[in-house]
Amino acid sequence: MNLLGKSAIAATLAVGLMTPAMAQELRTASEGVIACQSVEDALERLDCFEQAAAELSAALAVPEPAPVIAEAAPTPTVPAAPTEQAATAVATTAVATPEAPAPIQQASADTVAEPDIPERTLPSWMPRITFGGDRDVEKEPDEFRTKITRIQVNKLGRHFFTTEEGHVWRQKRIRGIRAPKTLPAEVVLYQNITGGLQLKIVETNRIYPVSRVE
């Protein structure tokens, strides 16, 4: 039995130990593994299995909410009665050094400039629209972090993600997505084992195969 099959069985056994919402996510992820068996093309089937395995791992990694433990109220401390000598010293100090008024902080009327977004360079393994000379890079990252500023969907149900650099990424497989609550939202772009590009939405922990269109 392969690793994906064992993962699907483990996810099925874990359904009875989790909350209804977590059990539904595990059931959906397990069905995605089974659905990949019907893909005829070998590379597409491998890509499908990798996507399903990533979603299954993400569903299994959802932590249980920690129980709220009420903190015990602290025992009040009864202050000791001041001696006559200490009371006299405090009264003398209060008369000799009157409290100075606290300075009033005034709000600045200057306009705060918005921070400039630094220009980024995409890793060499990402496809380019225009061709240029190759450059040797000492160390390239395995992933590229950015933010999506816009999500569009066409009549077929295919989604398009626009990043803050102005690049547009096309969803390769037509399927529903779990969109972030607000935009811009942080995403991670990286390559899978077959060289295909994956887009991961950090907030929802969901991964989608994509290709760059502009």
Tell me, yes or no, whether 101 lies in a domain.
no
Rounded Cα distance between 114 and 109, Å, is 15
pLDDT, one tens digit per residue, over 163-187 is 999 999 999 999 999 999 999 999 9
Q: Is the pLDDT of residue 132 over 60?
A: no
What pLDDT does 85 receive? Answer: 59
pLDDT, one tens digit per residue, over 54-63 is 887 777 775 5
What pLDDT does 119 receive? Answer: 54
Tell me, yes or no, whether 206 lies in a domain.
yes
For the chain, the distance separating the N- and C-terminal CA atoms, rounded to the nearest angstrom, is 42
Tell me, yes or no, whether 100 lies in a domain.
no
Q: What is the mean pLDDT of residues 97-121?
A: 53
Tell me, yes or no, whether 109 lies in a domain.
no
pLDDT, one tens digit per residue, over 154-164 is 999 999 999 99
* Average pLDDT of every residue of the chain: 74
Rounded Cα distance between 143 and 207, Å, is 13
Tell me, yes or no, whether 19 lies in a domain.
yes
Distance of CA 131 to the CA centre of its chain: 33
Tell me, yes or no, whether 83 lies in a domain.
no
Q: By residue range, what is the domain housing residue 49?
A: 3-60
Tell me, yes or no, whether 84 lies in a domain.
no
Q: Which two tokens stand for residue 176?
A: 């529903």
Using the 3D structure, point to which of 39, 60, 81 is the last residue of a domain: 60
User: Count of domains in the chain?
Assistant: 2
Tell me, yes or no, whether 128 lies in a domain.
no
- For residues 156 and 113, the answer to whether their CB atoms sit within 8 Å is no
Q: What is the mean pLDDT of residues 192-199?
A: 91
